Structure 1
């Protein structure tokens, strides 16, 4: 496979995309488990299409541009996991083609080939959850654009005012996935160490980064929802931690091969220091900084799953290329790559289809939507779930703004505060749920604090489920 993609001809893009479709087609045609984050994103898109304002009327920590995309998809296709997967494939194709084009067009490597795109394509299949249109996937596209502009500056004698684009792309990336804002440190450090940027150009880059944020802040200010924006997005990045959704064994298994090959590729650079020109050495160093900044984003991740590590793919793919390039025996490199390719796809299909009976590795069970606690005949109802399990929303709609439990705690776990009780009562009055599913044992206390609500609901035969009279 390495030998086939070693040639550099335009028709190889067709081969590369054909391989991508061949890998994904079985999963696009065969239904596989719906994930809790996917259901969450579809609910956000659905609520926004009904005229609700994100952060004010929908309490969730999804970043605004990602929510805008989910809104657009829902407006055209409704709740459609298949469209999330199809859109994710288009974004993946852009990243693969752009990464391969960039590394060859800018002479990032000593030789031109389709290996960068091939390795990048493989590493995008860390797990079956990477098939969906996640905020991290969309954000990484703009980080790659920032990388392309940055190395264009490095290939010149001095930086130009195009550094504004670097900051702007990172600002857009952060509005798709807020932890990506840390990559402004990557841009500043790269400009500082590897270009002749002036103070004015640093300021331009920082202004480009802040400009998209300023536009969003202005919009929420005009809508008188700046406090909601701050609480549910900016502050939530330090507080929202849905680690109960994490599957650490599957995560480690998914990252083992790409991370291992990336590290081996990085170490192989020390064996042949004279082979690379000065520009290529600087690119190696800024990709190492990218990886270090990506590690810092782990502390800001709302949950841990392979999909949120897609921002690691560019540096891992970049350095893995050097590992295969520096293996002197072509047949050995081919065997190692085929082995890595096969093992990664085995875990990929095992997670989605469970091809190995009884094996739970890669299944991401804690991330899957479980059966609804409501009877099957209850569909298309307005429902409030108090807790993390969103399964009842699969066949029903969200009532009240309380989508994300970590954010809903501001009110629902603070019922000794008079203002919180008033907020909950107002939300129930404006958008009353037909059913309440209480997984955190707060309804009894809520009914004590707001007796008017207790008169409107009655217990059902299912524990923790209340029905509107």
Structure 2
């Protein structure tokens, strides 16, 4: 099976759709409405209220929408990776890995602020990859900061991704103070515009809901969460180790993008700890960049039989955790 996903053939998208139904079928059988745990941002609350008036609280609708978002994110992320040739050839392995690893927890397949933030982060990451080739990047860093500000309105702890932007600017470009100031102004701008709108419409009471952030140091007792964390961490480390040799042969831009991806993983792992109420559902933010390192594991294993064994072990774990745990 890995052989088909290693290919960059556009027809692989059809196989990816079938694969999505396979690994997500349990969640379609047992749908959940949406995440509402008190950590969501103001825009997410308004969006859910609008959807409730429009469609009601059908769990199947929300779960189906969440799975469609995951499929869309996998394809967009793969498109970015192939565009920058982070692998020697075009491949759909990152999409496969993202769909497989997000199937380890039901909360990663539930409509949530994190899924909406992931969509924004795809655009943010795509823009970060372009910083190296720009002679002047003031417009790009402002747009990235603005996008992160919007992400903060859906899920306020997402503004911590500004660390990703600032560190990526250090990796991709020489330090320019003006660009850093412009990036921070872009981050503040959506919050300012939302505050202005609420003031002009007499809804200042909602303004207090915007800075929805805390600090949580949870004791995780759910073995499914531990299993998913261990699997993602193991593939991340293996993917990084197997990357060392081919990294030396890459162009400078490719090396810098991989370095930015490592920062992306580390920051995304920290974000959920700043929830008002900790939830592992928000670690789906880290699964997106981890999936490219997992894809590198499958890409680097040249023995097709061994690669398939690794895949089927992971797939079997997912199925067991879904149906038999």
Whether the aligned pair in 2 keeps the contact of 1:160 and 1:197 (CA below 8 Å) is no
Whether contact under 8 Å (1:265, 1:322) holds in the other structure is yes
CA distance in 1, matches of 2:100, 2:280: 14
Contact 1:159/1:195, CA 8 A, preserved across alignment: no
Partner of 2:242: 268
Corresponding residue of 2:153: 175
Matched, 1:95 2:73: yes
Distance 1:155 1:110, change over 3 A: farther
How far residue 308 of structure 1 moved from its aligned partner, in angstroms, is: 1.4
Which structure has more RCO (C-alpha within 8 Å, separation ≥ 6)?
2
Aligned residue pairs: how many?
325
Matches within 5 A, 1:238-317: 238=214, 247-317=221-291
Q: What is the rounded CA distance, in whole Å, between the counterparts of 2:159 and 2:12 in structure 1? A: 35
Distance 1:286 1:157, change over 3 A: same
What TM-score, normalized to structure 2? 0.90
CA deviation after TM superposition for structure 1 residue 223, in Å: 4.6
1:21 partnered with 2:13: no
TM value normalised by structure 1 = 0.64
Would you say 1:31 and 2:30 are equivalent positions?
yes
Aligned counterparts of 2:134 and 2:207: Cα–Cα separation in 1: 40
Q: Cα distance, 1:124 vs. partner?
A: 1.9
* C-alpha spacing 1:221/1:247, structure 2 compared with 1 (3 Å): farther
Shift of 1:253: 1.3
Partner of 1:424: none
Contact 1:136/1:311 (<8 A) preserved: yes
CA deviation digits over 1:46-71, x for unaligned, max 9? xxxxxxxxxxxxxx552012112212
Structure 2: runs of 5 or more not aligned = none
Residue 10 of structure 1 pairs with residue 10 of structure 2: yes
Paired residue secondary structure (1:275): coil
Matched, 1:137 2:115: yes
Q: Which has the higher helix share?
A: 2
Instruction: Kindly report which structure 2 residues correspond to 1:377-456, keeping only aligned pairs within 5 A, or say none.
Output: none
Name 1:107's counterpart in structure 2: 85
SS of structure 2 residue aligned to 1:210: helix
What is the CA–CA distance in structure 2 between the aligned matches of 1:112 and 1:288, rounded to whole Å? 21
Matches within 5 A, 1:61-210: 61-156=39-134, 159=137, 161-196=139-174, 198-210=176-188
Q: Distance in 2 between matches of 1:158 and 1:110?
A: 29
Contact 1:84–1:133 (Cα < 8 Å) also in 2? yes
Alpha-carbon distance between aligned partners in 2 of 1:31 and 1:331, rounded to the nearest angstrom: 34
- Partners of 1:302 and 1:18 lie apart in 2 by 37
Q: 1:158–1:318: structure 2 CA closer, same or farther, 3 Å change rule?
A: farther
The 1:81–1:302 alpha-carbon spacing in structure 2 relative to 1, beyond 3 Å, is: farther
SS at match of 2:130: helix
Residue of structure 1 equivalent to 2:310:
336
Cα distance in 1, alignment partners of residues 189 and 137 from structure 2: 20
CA deviations on 1:225-274 (whole Å, 9 max, x unpaired) are 546533x441x4126x6969x64432111222122111111122234442
Cα separation, partners in 2 of 1:237 and 1:218, compared to 1, 3 Å: same
CA distance in 2 between partners of 1:84 and 1:119 (Å): 23
Q: How much has 1:206 moved relative to structure 2?
A: 2.1
Q: Equivalent residue for 1:391?
A: none
The answer as to whether partners of 1:153 and 1:160 remain within 8 angstroms in 2 is no
CA distance in 1, matches of 2:133, 2:318: 35
Change (3 A) 1:344 1:22: closer
Taking the aligned partners of 2:269 and 2:27, their CA distance within structure 1 comes to 30
Judging changes above 3 Å, is the alpha-carbon distance between structure 1 residues 157 and 267 closer, same or farther for their aligned structure 2 residues?
farther
